[in-house]
Chain A
């Protein structure tokens, strides 16, 4: 991993067309600005990991009879 130190107002350029700008540092939070081509998705890493983990859980939980019973259109009784 390449490690660079930046001050507020300084940038990092990745592959010519992606720029990360340090906008603000407040306590332990860093505000980053990202300029990237519209075709490139940009996401918080922990969100991707949460989704990955949830997808795996969603598959494991998919027993046909249990699901069909749980999602019946009309509630029982």
Chain B
């Protein structure tokens, strides 16, 4: 299907890359139809592009690209909205904020986008875990992967 985008022009998108959100990302709750776009093959991030608003797109990345220890618990409420039957069906993406002309990148570890790979239902899942920040500083790609937790537990 054809999707209009302000950043990439008109794109041809197949069903396999759609994300149908149970409710849209916070602040954009009414927008629920998205698709995942890999704009360039030499990058590990993707764009979560709205299929309803051509100007709305988020930069998302697989957290395992940057973090060794990012483990989240998806509460029952969210698992139900995602109709998630097995943890293995859950694909995680974290939203990146790229600021200061690309010099400052943070990842939202407190609210990952979880996609049920079996039914393509997605949701921005809020994680109530003090260890994970809404703005977690990102190490540069290619650098050693960093810890996802901002607060280490005292022994």
Is A67 located at the chain interface by the 8 A CB criterion?
A: yes
Residue from B8, B27, B44, B45 within 8 A of A53 (CB atoms): B27
Chain A min CB distance to B70 (Å): 17
**B22-71 at interface with A (beta carbon < 8 Å):** 25-28, 39-40, 42-45, 47, 56-59, 61
Is B92 located at the chain interface by the 8 A CB criterion?
A: no
* Stretch from A6-14, A21-29, A38-46 forming part of the interface with B: A38-46
Q: How many A-B residue pairs have CB under 8 A?
A: 116
Chain A CB within 10 A, most for which of B28, B40, B59, B98:
B98
Total number of A residues with any Cβ neighbor in B under 8 Å: 33
Chain B CB within 10 A, most for which of A41, A47, A53, A66:
A41
Chain B interface extent, by class: 35 or more
- List residues of chain B with CB within 8 A of the CB of A63: 98
- Cα distance A66–B77 when bound, in Å? 37
- List residues of chain B with CB within 8 A of the CB of A74: 141-142
Chain A min CB distance to B50 (Å): 9
Contact A54 B102 (CB under 8 A): no
